Amino acid sequence: MLLEELKNYKIYLASKSPRRRELLSGMGIGYELLVTGVEESYDPSLSPSEVVQYLSRLKLSTLDLSKYSDNTIFIACDTIVVIDGDIIGKPKDDTEAMDMLRRLSGHTHKVLSGLTVATPARMLTDYKSTDVVFADLSESEMRHYVDFYRPMDKAGAYGVQEWIGYVGIKSITGSFYNVMGLPTRLLWEMLEKIIK
């Protein structure tokens, strides 16, 4: 089984996200954090799927992977929210968070995560897309969420695993864990590929 094989590898997760750490641990995969601190900018002519794949690779770009032993695996991920073709990032403040939630309220949006899995010898990059349908949210519901949950570190100004996900999401088509920030099944498949 893959978990047994992964015990032979040193695994690094290049992410500050507590959700990604939680999901990787939930998969039973031991890892260490490796925060690379890159400037997350991209060419605006890229499509959303190209953006998330590019940003996931970018998170490993400051590392000289050749300096690590052969049995090292690096995991990097980036998640964006897309509505009407526009990429919605992380809000800078309460006002922007409320504006983002107003835009998502009563509509369907996409959550895309780009995932890069690398060893010193190989690099694989892919992405997953999930459709999320929000109910019509009241101003007081959105204000409650922003005030009590402070979603400034989340793309689209919300966390599916928090209060707003419980009361505000009507349906999800695709991976729930992708919306949370890590497409776990895709990661499993990529890990299987990269150690073969």
111 contacts 166 by C-beta, under 8 angstroms: no
155 contacts 80 by C-beta, under 8 angstroms: yes
User: Which tokens go with 177?
Assistant: 């864990």
d(CA 53, CA 125): 6
Strands (E), 54-183: 72-83, 86-88, 108-118, 123-134, 169-173
Residue with tokens 């009241």: 138
* Distance between first and last Cα of the chain: 13
Give the residue numbers annotated as catalytic, written as ranges: 78
32 contacts 12 by C-beta, under 8 angstroms: yes
User: Which tokens go with 40?
Assistant: 């997350």
